[in-house]
Amino acid sequence: MVNTKWQMAAAGLIALLAALYMMEVAVNDDEAVIIGSTQVIMITECSRVFQFVGDLSNYAMWFPGIENMTASSPGPMRAGKEFEETVILPAFGEISREVVVTSYSVPRQLQFVYRDFSQTMIAIELIQKTADRCHLYYSAATRRTSYLFHVTAGIPLRIMYAMRGRHAMFAIS
């Protein structure tokens, strides 16, 4: 009888934590919390850079940890286009995640969001500063706004996107 009470209490606590964890998802992208950002200056035109980074099929070539990114919806690149990203995690094996393009403006901006628990949004913006200098800004944000998320899963996400973002900017330049 005692074990049953403790089991019920533990199950209730887990359910409460799960509910708190999933609460407070920002609906508006402007409310998303930045978890990593970096930038690089390239000696070239932004239109040339965007030809490469604006095609999510190339994402695995320059962003570390991504095994593959393939289109899962037909048609040209646009807001609403869907992709499937494959990553290989040593402890879990191959994992696929759904990605949806939320903003696409040639040759200036690409933004997409992961349809998973993290609700991570990636924004890539290119700004032509001079005729031969293009600034590429890369940021990762999450729509999750709950305190519980940010003191648990948010910490490794921040570390991962900080390290991988810097590595990606080095690889792309």
pLDDT at position 72 is 95
**0.85 exceeded by the pTM?**
no
Burial class (CB in 10 A: 0-12, 13-18, 19+), 1: exposed
Residue range 29-76, pLDDT digits in tens: 677 888 889 899 999 999 999 999 999 999 999 888 899 999 999 999
> Residue 156's pLDDT band (boundaries 50, 70, 90)?
confident
**Which band of pLDDT confidence, cut at 50, 70 and 90, is reported for residue 24?**
low
Predicted local distance difference test score (pLDDT) of residue 111: 95
Check if the beta carbon of residue 87 is closer than 8 Å to that of residue 66.
Answer: yes
Coil, helix or strand at residue 155: helix
What's residue 23's pLDDT? 64
Burial 30-44 (b: 16+ CB within 10 A, else e): eebeebbebebebee
User: Could you report the per-residue pLDDT of 89-129, keeping only the tens digit for each?
Assistant: 788 889 999 999 999 999 999 999 999 888 899 999 999 99
Q: Which residue has the tokens 């890369």?
A: 138
